[in-house]
Chains A and B, each alone.
Chain A
Amino acid sequence: MKILVPVKRVIDYNVKPRVKMDGTGVDLTNVKMSMNPFDEIAVEEAIRLREKGAASEIVVVSVGPQKAQDTLRTALAMGADRAILILSEQEVEPLGVAKLLKAVMDEEQPGIVLLGKQAIDDDSNQTGQMLAALSGRPQGTFASKVEVKGDKVEVTREVDGGLETVSLTLPAIVTTDLRLNEPRYASLPNIMKAKTKPMATKSPADYGVDIAPRLTILKVEEPAKRQAGVKLGSVDELVAKIKDLGVVA
């Protein structure tokens, strides 16, 4: 079985985003960029499924600018077999990405598409579900456990009330949550090896997909800032302050 893993290049997890003065977006010049952390978990899970014998080939795909190839190389260094870069210097919305991924799915015929539940830049949490809809396949979102059982995959999902397990008929789309696994670091030999792994470059037009955005960002602002309050000297002071709030009976 083939596993397709879509990955996105985003602002590094540890960088505090700064809103541009002109209100058009977040300043990404000279900011460290990395693979979306949830996608890293997806790459790791695909590798583990291959190690268990449930998968034979791992194909990674990214929709993004030329530099997204660094992200794909990272995935190859972790253990993916080959990569597809769908080049777009303009930002593509989740619906457009899902349409492109659907076209890649048609071509590659994966048994599972494994991807992050959300990207930490736009925080949309949509692409996997949209891909599932467009391909008419089931979805196991927010996965904390993934088990292939014959022609089905059992996915344990992190939901508001706790955990829920669903069984999906393959092919299926699975989106990862934080506790699915801890991604490995690529070793130096594997980083070297990744440089020679195949990477195809495509364009949205190659797939005949219209990626024109549906949303216009009118402005991007900083949220209202909280002022730091007071530091108290004792528990007694804190007790008095909490009682003053009137929320405690």
Chain B
Amino acid sequence: MSVLVLVEHESGVPRDASLSTVTAATKLGEVHALIAGSGAEAKQAADATAKIAGVAKVLLADNAGYAHMLAENVAPLVAGLAGGYDAVLFSATSVGKNVAPRVAAMLDVMQISDVLSIESADTFTRPIYAGNAIATVKSSDAKKVLTVRGTAFAKAAATGGSASVESVSGAGDAGLSSFVGAETSKSERPELTSAKVVVSGGRALGSSEDFHRVIDPLADKLGAAVGASRAAVDAGYAPNDYQVGQTGKIVAPELYVAIGISGAIQHLAGMKDSKTIVAINKDEDAPIFQVADLGLVGDLFQVVPELTAKL
């Protein structure tokens, strides 16, 4: 069995989520990685991907039309290559979630989203109802199209492999869409979905200023990524890419610190697989305490600065 993985990359480096997807793919068969991109960065990413343990071959599609991973351009490329594979895997990232269903529909395949485990070549588990239930599903499609939850699979080693890099070509710009611009949060902190420690703030922070004044120093002390509940993002205390939850990012760090977060099921869906959960909340009946390993009832504006100082 052979498997095609769309490997996402940034600044010439394969993304962590893609390393996890490679691990998932190795459970199904021989792994070929597709790098779609433009110019020197794509070439660099292809060379780096060739070193990932478990990757047997790298396909490099270098075209200006793939620079921004527009689904209209990338999906026909992937669908065109899919003929030679039994399965096509994507990461459940904003890129994967955007492109994969477009590829699946082009192939007339019913995609399986957010795969948590691979039971066999045609049977997978995935979360439904905000992770309140886990479904085991069997696909009758000849070809499988999956998106893979990064936190459910270990990252493949970034070195140790020595795959060949082969150029492939696609149609490039489909002429349906164009990239206008991006506002990306620049941060020196680790990436949220792969950080070892995550410090998240909720609505109780009360304002954007207080969110940063209270949360950031603790995150700095712990070398943590910063997350937020939906309530905090909706209120404008934190940007959208901080959101942890059912429809935001899924995280499973070694340590998750929830500050002023009550623990709505949609939030728990995004973090309950964390190894150790610490909750700080002034409401002792907050649902977050039902999943927290370590809880502290108190006023976050006193407790968190004290914690930051003493760590």
Residues in A lying within 8 Å of B, measured CB to CB: 11, 16-17, 19, 25-26, 38, 93-95, 98, 117-118, 120-134, 137-139, 141-142, 144, 154, 157-169, 177-179, 213-223, 226, 228-232, 234-236, 238-239, 241-243, 245, 247-249
Q: Decide: A129 and B294 in contact? CB cutoff 8 A.
A: no
Q: Decide: B246 and A120 in contact? CB cutoff 8 A.
A: yes
Q: Decide: B247 and A238 in contact? CB cutoff 8 A.
A: no
0 or 1 for each of B53-87: is its CB under 8 Å from A? (1 = yes):
00000000000000010111001000000000000
Q: Decide: B128 and A126 in contact? CB cutoff 8 A.
A: no
When C-beta atoms are compared, the residue in chain B nearest to A218 turns out to be B136
Q: Is the CB of B93 closer than 8 A to any CB of chain A?
A: yes
What residues of chain A lie closer than 8 Å to B113, measured between beta carbons?
Answer: 123-126
Q: Decide: B295 and A232 in contact? CB cutoff 8 A.
A: yes
0 or 1 for each of B97-128: is its CB under 8 Å from A? (1 = yes):
11111111110111111100000000100011
Chain B min CB distance to A141 (Å): 5
0 or 1 for each of B273-309: is its CB under 8 Å from A? (1 = yes):
0001110000010000111111111100001001100
Given A11-B129, A178-B247, check contact A228 B137 (CB 8 Å): no
* A214 to B143 CA separation, bound complex (whole angstroms): 11
* A247 to B257 CA separation, bound complex (whole angstroms): 13
Given A16-B265, A126-B104, A230-B294, check contact A236 B133 (CB 8 Å): no
Taking a contact as CB atoms closer than 8 A, the residue among A17, A19, A118, A239 that contacts B311 in the complex is A239
7 interchain residue pairs of minimum CB distance? A129-B101, A229-B293, A214-B110, A133-B105, A130-B105, A126-B101, A138-B176
**Could you tell me which residues of chain B, from 234 to 264, have a CB within 8 Å of some CB in chain A?**
234, 239-241, 246-247, 249, 254-255
Q: Decide: B137 and A179 in contact? CB cutoff 8 A.
A: no
* A182 to B65 CA separation, bound complex (whole angstroms): 35
Q: Decide: B94 and A220 in contact? CB cutoff 8 A.
A: no
Chain B min CB distance to A224 (Å): 9
Chain B min CB distance to A157 (Å): 8
Q: Is the CB of B139 closer than 8 A to any CB of chain A?
A: yes
* A124 to B147 CA separation, bound complex (whole angstroms): 10
Given A120-B130, A142-B94, A218-B137, check contact A95 B291 (CB 8 Å): no
What residues of chain A lie closer than 8 Å to B182, measured between beta carbons?
Answer: 159, 161-165
Q: Decide: B135 and A133 in contact? CB cutoff 8 A.
A: no
Q: Decide: B178 and A230 in contact? CB cutoff 8 A.
A: no
Q: Decide: B134 and A220 in contact? CB cutoff 8 A.
A: yes
* A76 to B110 CA separation, bound complex (whole angstroms): 31
Taking a contact as CB atoms closer than 8 A, the residue among A16, A166, A214, A235 that contacts B132 in the complex is A16
When C-beta atoms are compared, the residue in chain B nearest to A122 turns out to be B128
Q: Decide: B292 and A229 in contact? CB cutoff 8 A.
A: yes
Taking a contact as CB atoms closer than 8 A, the residue among B110, B139, B239, B306 that contacts A235 in the complex is B306
* A147 to B82 CA separation, bound complex (whole angstroms): 35
What residues of chain A lie closer than 8 Å to B307, measured between beta carbons?
Answer: 235, 238-239
Taking a contact as CB atoms closer than 8 A, the residue among A214, A221, A243, A248 that contacts B197 in the complex is A248
Q: Decide: A121 and B129 in contact? CB cutoff 8 A.
A: yes
Given A98-B105, A160-B249, A218-B136, check contact A236 B310 (CB 8 Å): yes
Chain A min CB distance to B171 (Å): 13
Q: Is the CB of B166 closer than 8 A to any CB of chain A?
A: no
